[in-house]
Amino acid sequence: MAATLSPPPVRPVARPRMSPRRRARTARGIQYALLLVAAAVVVAVTDWRQVGVSFFNPTVAVEMLPTLGRALTNTLVYTAAAFAVGLSLGLLLALMKLSSVRPYRWIATLYIEFFRGIPALLVVVAFGYAVPVALGVSIGSLTAKAALALGMVSAAYIAETLRAGIQAVPRGQVEAARSLGMSHGRTMVTIVIPQAFRIVLPPMTNELILLTKDTSLIFLLGLTPAQYDLTKLGRDFLSSATGGLTALFVIGACYLCITIPLGLLARRLEATTGRGTR
């Protein structure tokens, strides 16, 4: 049977119905449309009059004003004190974790794993009730209690961050310092730690922001009105006032007033000190 040599079938080039660029444009259009629809639904469904009365009630907000400054200051003080404890203890733990003495490394690891693993709330309660009973000491100052409880938790995170930062300092920096006759300790203090701090600035800002919010837990220690932090103040107004959830929104705004400038400051610091690095 003589096979007739037919020309090979012409494979049509698979042309997509839409070019990739057009498809991308359409996809983007659909996403915008979805967003608009969602926003429209929210606006339509919300009872705006009710929101105004119970969430953004100006009378309640004004009522809060006289005590708000005090609570804001308290929150800042608790945060600063706890950060001081966390930073010093964290640096100590980081150095222990890098120590050549094995038991120091074990202790640091145990501490970090423990305090990183349990809720901060438990530590605060423990400081309020368990520690005075167990050790027979009562810490008088509320700020000290808050700083110790929150600082000890924070130290676990800070230690890990600092350890990573110290290890990220190039080895050549250490060798240069040692070759000039500087001791190990002096090299650590003047060369390694200053550079490590610059490396850990962004994660450290995170830590400070988390700590600011964690001060909301210290109501568990029992507060007098003069010692109220932002959250406790908010809760009080929430239960007493008729403004619904307005207090919640006022307090939330106050926290943002602390944390957003912190983030900006960190970014500024990073930009100025970062110029020195390679």
Count of helices and strands (H, E) across the chain: 13, 0
| Residue 275 is a binding residue for other proteins (CB under 8 A) | yes
* Stretch of 44-52, 128-136, 167-175, 245-253 lying at the interface with other proteins (CB under 8 A): 167-175
Phi then psi dihedrals of residue 223, to 5 deg = -120, 140
* Stretch of 43-51, 69-77, 177-185, 232-240 lying at the interface with other proteins (CB under 8 A): 177-185
Q: Which residue in 182, 221, 241, 269 binds other proteins (CB under 8 A)? A: 182
Question: What 3-state DSSP class applies to 241?
Answer: coil
Cα-atom radius of gyration of the chain, to the nearest Å? 29
Instruction: Please state, in angstroms and rounded to a whole number, the distance separating the CA atoms of residues 127 and 9.
Output: 83
| Residue 175 is a binding residue for other proteins (CB under 8 A) | yes
Taking the complex as a whole, how short is the minimal distance between the CB of residue 274 and other proteins, in angstroms?
A: 10
Residue 140 · residue 71 · CB < 8 Å: no
* Stretch of 34-42, 135-143, 180-188, 259-267 lying at the interface with other proteins (CB under 8 A): 180-188
End-to-end CA distance of the chain, in Å? 79
| Residue 176 is a binding residue for other proteins (CB under 8 A) | yes
Q: What is the dihedral of CA 18, 19, 21, 25, to 10 degrees?
A: -10
- In the bound state with other proteins, the residue whose beta carbon lies nearer, of 173 and 240, is 173
| Residue 268 is a binding residue for other proteins (CB under 8 A) | no
Interface positions with other proteins (CB under 8 A): 170, 172-173, 175-183, 186, 190-191, 194-195, 198, 273, 275-278
